[in-house]
Amino acid sequence: MAAQGWRVGRRTVLCAAVAALALPGLAGCGSDGEAPPDTRGVQQLLDRRAAALRERDETTYLATVDRDATALRDRQRKVFGNLSQVPLASWEYRVRGTGGFAPAAGGGKRLAVRADLRYRLAGYDTVPVTVARKLTLAERGGRWYVAAEESDGSRLWDQGPVTVVRGAHSLVMGVGQDRARLRALAADADRAVPAVDAAWRGAWAHRVVVELPASLERMAGLLSASPASYSGIAAVTTGEVGGAGAAPADRVIVNPEAYGTLGTLGRQVVLTHETAHVATRPYTSSATPLWLSEGFADWAGYRATGRTARAAAPELAGAVSRGELPAKLPADADFGFAGEAQRLARAYEEGWLACRMIADKWGDAKLVEFYREVGGGRRRDGAVEAALGGVLGLSAEEFTARWRSYMTKELKE
């Protein structure tokens, strides 16, 4: 899973790879020679639970909760209500493994279960989002009930009632936000989609899902990260990097505090940038360097704004004016937040100017072709070099030399 974002005060984008959770199948092993639990009964319980939520049947949904788990029942009732406006196309659990039996208070048994929750948003997700879940089941009268369910708070509906606004090309979901602000965000997203269409010129969903949590802290909760990491980030995009042509279920998550400080141009650049990540995700792989994925998204964001290179790349322009012309394209490590803030900003600006140069010298279509060719590589080593030769007719050394000359020309005072 990848996440990208926009830092207020300078054009800086975050990109951090997050491995998708893969839950190993656990062999059931009962204590004292007991037979492994019947996972069919467990799956049937989870199927009833999922069907009740999809069909908006609160009584049946809560009936899957153990009678003694009163706190869990209260939380589940709230989450059920929080989901009332969310357009679900699917919602299901798949058992991944079970642990051993343990005695339950008052008789019966308890069972630890690992499962995947898989869901899709109607009209937007072509593949399901998968979330790992740990549950504890209690046996009563030969039937299983949910006694505990671990949640990391990484879903918007875990944080409160979700309000939904539909745009022409967007679905905006918010918690703790008034509907007027959500409608304004949908309008920004609706302008971003055709802007990306003009830049990418390739197959993609032509729609975007945007989430607006109540605060920076809640945004960090959705990303399972520290709030300090996102204090200056206006928006991030999450989704699985594949490179196989599949359309993953991406989400643009907006920081209500940082995004609110941006002007009209800033908001449009931000959402166009993030939407470009949604469009290019199926063609982004481990072979794609960050200077290309982030540079392309910035190029799409600034493409129709008329901003000069010096205005859009102030950190790099200052460095070049001091005679600090970069010798090579930025490495992935240069895009980490642990480093110097100015160097981070320059890394994104350098990637943007590399993509801008390709579009200026060879045309927009060649930039898109180059992006797709790199992402189609089987591995990082040699992918950029092969695409440079095949698409642009240049060696890596020739491309770097042209990029350095282009920077000098575009950023001169």
37-151 belongs to which CATH class? alpha beta
Rounded Cα distance, 286 and 241, in Å:
8
Among 232, 5, 47, CA closest to 146: 47
Contact 326, 385 (CB under 8 A): no
SS3 sequence of 357-388: HHHHHHCHHHHHHHHHHHHCCCCCCCHHHHHH
pLDDT (tens, 9 = 90+) of the chain, 413 residues, equals 445 555 444 333 333 333 222 333 333 333 444 545 567 889 999 999 999 999 999 999 999 999 999 999 999 999 999 999 999 999 999 999 887 666 555 556 899 999 999 999 999 998 899 999 999 999 988 899 999 998 777 899 999 999 999 999 999 999 999 999 999 999 999 999 999 999 998 889 999 999 999 999 999 999 888 888 888 789 999 875 554 445 567 999 999 999 999 999 999 999 999 999 999 998 999 999 999 999 999 999 999 999 999 999 999 999 999 999 999 999 999 887 555 678 888 999 999 999 999 999 999 999 999 999 999 998 899 999 999 999 999 999 999 999 999 999 999 86
Contact 266, 301 (CB under 8 A): no
Strand partners, 117: 93, 131
Residue 37: predicted pLDDT:
59
Instruction: Enter the DSSP assignment of 336.
Output: -
Burial of 301 (0-12, 13-18, 19+ CB in 10 A): buried
Q: pTM of the predicted model, to two decimals?
A: 0.86
Contact 289, 334 (CB under 8 A): no
**Two tokens, residue 366:** 């060649």
Rounded Cα distance, 298 and 268, in Å:
11
Contact 314, 405 (CB under 8 A): no
E strand spans, 27-142: 88-103, 109-121, 129-140
What single letter denotes the amino acid at residue 250? D
Among 273, 263, 287, 275, CA closest to 370: 287
Among 106, 107, 104, 118, CA closest to 148: 104
Rounded Cα distance, 318 and 410, in Å:
12
Contact 259, 210 (CB under 8 A): no
- Of the chain, the end-to-end C-alpha distance in Å amounts to 40
Compute CA distances 403 → 203, 358, 361, whole Å: 29, 9, 11
Given CA atoms 35, 40, 42, 45 in this order, what sign does their dihedral have? negative
Length of the chain (residues): 413
Tell me how crowded residue 55 is: count the other CB atoms within 10 A of its CB. 11
Rounded Cα distance, 269 and 344, in Å:
19
What single letter denotes the amino acid at residue 85? Q
What single letter denotes the amino acid at residue 89? A
**Two tokens, residue 310:** 């010096």
Residue 381 neighbours by CB under 8 Å, 6+ apart? none
Among 269, 305, 300, CA closest to 202: 300
Calculate ∠ Cα 259-233-4, nearest 5°: 115
Residue 89: predicted pLDDT:
96
Give me the residue spans of the domains in the chain: 1-25+152-262, 37-151, 285-413
Strand partners, 164: 173
Residue 99: predicted pLDDT:
79
Residue 231: predicted pLDDT:
81
Residue 246: predicted pLDDT:
53
